[in-house]
Amino acid sequence: MMVRIFGRKSYGLAAADLPDLAALKRAARRRRQRVPVGAIILLGPLVIFGLFGPWIAPHDIMVVDSANALRPPAWMEGGSWSYLLGTDKFGRDLLSVLMVGARTSLIVCVVGVLFAGIIGVVLGLLAGYFGKWIDNLIMRIVDVVMSIPGILFMLLLAAALGPGIKTIIISMGLLMWCGYTRVMRGEVLSIKQRDFVAMAKVMGIGQSRILIRHILPSVGSTVIVMATLQAGGAIMMEGGLSFLGLGVQPPYTTWGRIIAENRNVMTTAWWVPVFAGLLLIMAIWGFNVLGDWLRDVMDPKMRRR
């Protein structure tokens, strides 16, 4: 109403006074939402196939049957309902290959994120709590690692150690810890000013005990949120590296590797990159949605960063 006096449209001031009302409302709704339905649906295939893939796969993927190669999906001409999503160039049932491949993707992602998380949290705690030269040293290392584009770092390690599942996990661990360290350091810097830490110090509790028993639990929710958001990135990186053929090596397979194996036939067999890619996107998207939901539920103050 007030704005009318100046003869201008009224939405201007209202928008300024209540920034992003819709997003706040959505966040509030999400907080009330007990179960993250979207995330569960998106992550369903990764988790279910990852855990049970080899048992629920309708076909054996170790059998190479060239007579069956490059069958289109069931609903297309030449397709068969026995091969729902068609077959790849080796004549393997695409759905079965995708189901089995989910396991390696899931393992790489979980182990990689854990590895990075442990390094990152420990270094972040040290940097934030002790400050001074320790902080300086650790943050300089962060700068260094951040200035090498991730995929190039992975290529460097693949060249040095040879490609394989171990190399991916090691390079993920050595790459992705930076994010945790930065956030952890900031959190610790503010937490260590708080009274309960001062109290613990006054009571003569040792530094390692203060770090582990008093500071670490206060940053736990942040770590979980970050790990979830990073899991999507891990899936994407593994997919990219395997797509190049420099990721996991046979007999293991992952969604990225399935696309890679069929790269030379993909002009006809479009269904391989499409379905494998859709699963990849669902998993990454699912982790992003889950991370946002966790952030709203566990750590409302992180929402507006």
Partner 1 sequence: MRRFIVKRLLLAVVTLLGVSLIVFVAARLTGDPVLLFAPTTATEQQLDELRAKMGLDKPIPVQFLIFLRDAARGDFGISLRYSQPAMTLALKRLGPTLELAAYAFILGLLGGVLLGITSATRPGSLRERAGTTFAMLGLSVPGFWLAVILMLVFAVKLHWFPTSGREGALSRILPTISVAWVAVAQIMRVTRSAMLEVLGSDYIKMARIKGLRERVVIWKHALRNALVPVLGIAGFLVAMLIGGLALVESVFRWPGIGSLLIEAVFARDFPLVQAGVLLVSAVVIFINLAVDLLYGIVDPRIRYE
Nearer to partner 1, 45 or 232 (CB): 232
Task: Give least dist CB 22 to partner 1, A.
Answer: 4
Looking at the Cβ atoms of 57 and 157, the one nearer to partner 1 is 157
Q: Which token pair is 156?
A: 């460097």
Q: How many residues bind partner 1 (CB under 8 A)?
A: 60
270 binds partner 1 (CB under 8 A): yes
Query: Is 8 an interacting residue with respect to partner 1 (CB under 8 A)?
Result: yes
* Single-letter residue type at 81: W
Q: Is residue 274 a contact residue for partner 1 (CB under 8 A)?
A: yes
- For partner 1, the closer of residues 21 and 48 by Cβ is 21
The minimum distance between CB 132 and partner 1, in angstroms, equals: 17
Residues numbered 215 to 244 that lie near partner 1 (CB under 8 A) are 232, 236, 239-240, 243-244
Q: Which x/- pattern, by CB under 8 A, does the window 134-173 give for partner 1?
A: ------xx-xxxxxxxxxxx-xxxxxxx-x----------
Q: How far is CA 165 from CA 4, 246, 249, in A?
A: 65, 10, 7
Q: Is residue 180 involved in binding partner 1 (CB under 8 A)?
A: no
Per CB under 8 A, 131 contacts partner 1: no
The number of beta carbons lying within 10 Å of the beta carbon of residue 68 is 19
Least distance (Å) from partner 1 to the CB of residue 18? 8
User: Is residue 23 a contact point for partner 1 (CB under 8 A)?
Assistant: yes
Long-range contacts of 275-279 (CB under 8 A, 24+ apart): 275/85, 275/94, 275/98, 276/98, 276/101, 279/45, 279/46, 279/98, 279/102, 279/255
Task: Reply yes or no: is the peptide bond before residue 251 cis, omega within 30 of 0.
Answer: yes
Check: CB of residue 119 under 8 Å from CB of residue 170: no
Alpha-carbon Rg for the chain in angstroms: 24
Residue 116 CB, nearest approach to partner 1 (Å):
16
Using rule CB under 8 A, residue 36 touches partner 1 = no
CA pair distance 109, 168, nearest whole angstrom: 10
Q: What are the two backbone dihedrals, phi and then psi, of residue 127, each rounded to the nearest 5 degrees? A: -60, -45
Among 189, 281, 297, 302, binds partner 1 (CB under 8 A): 281
Question: Does 179 help bind partner 1 (rule: CB under 8 A)?
Answer: no
Yes or no: say if 95 and 83 are a contact pair by the CB < 8 Å rule.
Answer: yes
Nearest CA to 178 out of 241, 110, 122 is that of 122
The residue written with tokens 């929402």 in the block is: 303
87: which DSSP letter?
B
**Using the rule CB under 8 A, is 47 a contact of partner 1?**
no
On whether the CB atoms of residues 229 and 120 are closer than 8 A, the answer is no
Residue 99 in the binding site for partner 1 (CB under 8 A): no
Q: How far is the CB of 56 from partner 1 (least distance, A)?
A: 25
Contact 279, 43 (CB under 8 A): no
Using CB under 8 A as the binding rule, whether residue 17 contacts partner 1 is answered as yes
- Helical H runs in 131-270? 132-146, 150-161, 165-191, 195-202, 207-209, 216-243, 255-261
Question: How far apart are CB 118 and partner 1 at their closest, in Å?
Answer: 20
Q: Which of residues 241-260 bind partner 1 (CB under 8 A)?
A: 243-246, 259
Cβ-contact 168, 157 below 8 angstroms: no
Can you give the binding site for partner 1, defined by CB under 8 A?
A: 3, 6-9, 12-13, 15-23, 140-141, 143-153, 155-161, 163, 232, 236, 239-240, 243-246, 259, 266-267, 270, 273-274, 277, 280-281, 284-285, 288-289, 304-305
